[in-house]
Amino acid sequence: MGHFCINCGAALVQRVIEGREVEACPNDSFVLWHDPKVSTAVVIEVDGGIVLGRRAIEPGYGLWCLPGGFVNDDEDPAAAAARECLEEISAPVELTGLIGVYHIPKTDASSMVGIAYRGRLGDGARPSAGAEMLEVGVFQLDALPPLAFPSHRTVVAEYLKSLALPVVEAPRSVRAGAPRARRPSPSQAPTQPRRKR
Ligand SMILES: [Zn+2]
């Protein structure tokens, strides 16, 4: 599908720049670079387990995931990670380290650069489901549920490797300490995928 210049509105033309075939403006310097989005995920350590949320939105509705989300243009990634945690698990989170930085390839959307942090809950904080989660729970490391995203599985595997523990996924019935599910209202449970901010 053809695209248009955001400066002058001209139809973009194919050019080869730095060895890549790209769409560029014939009149000015605009190039439609396909840059990755930047996204964060946080492994929040609690009492020998980690905090997971069960998603109330697509993609991955009903599945468990690490708290986290997209980094806004004006945000430090660490600040974005803490903000997303506050939104998703309703608790302040202090980041304690970096687990890794990953390329997350996509064919149906922009690929992502994922930044995974280790963190802990703020003093006295108890996680509870934000609007984008059906429920949140603390899972022991040998009883983790299946996760919604391959990238989160990679992060958890890296985290477990850093602890020298084996990677085990178990049925969700064995989860410990999960608060009661809070169902979102219909307006909070869109059926269409949308970008989570
Ligand atoms: Zn132009």
Which helix H or strand E contains 128, and what residues bound it? none
CA of 75 to the centre of ligand 1 (A): 29
Give the pLDDT of residue 177: 45
CA of 4 to the centre of ligand 1 (A): 8
pLDDT in tens, 143-191: 999 999 999 999 999 999 999 866 666 555 544 444 444 444 444 434 4
CA of 16 to the centre of ligand 1 (A): 17
CA of 24 to the centre of ligand 1 (A): 8
d(CA 159, CA 41): 12
Q: Which of the residues in the chain have pLDDT under 50?
A: 174-194, 196-197
CB 119 within 8 A of CB 43: yes
CA-only gyration radius of the chain, Å: 19
CA of 30 to the centre of ligand 1 (A): 6
Give the pLDDT of residue 61: 97
CA of 72 to the centre of ligand 1 (A): 26
Give the pLDDT of residue 179: 46
Please give the CATH superfamily to which domain 37-180 belongs.
Nucleoside Triphosphate Pyrophosphohydrolase (3.90.79.10)
Where in the chain do CATH 3.90.79.10 domains reside? 37-180
CA of 11 to the centre of ligand 1 (A): 8
Distance (Å) of CA 113 to CA 32, 35, 37, 110: 19, 10, 6, 10
pTM over 0.95: no
CA of 5 to the centre of ligand 1 (A): 5
CB 82 within 8 A of CB 102: no
CA of 111 to the centre of ligand 1 (A): 25
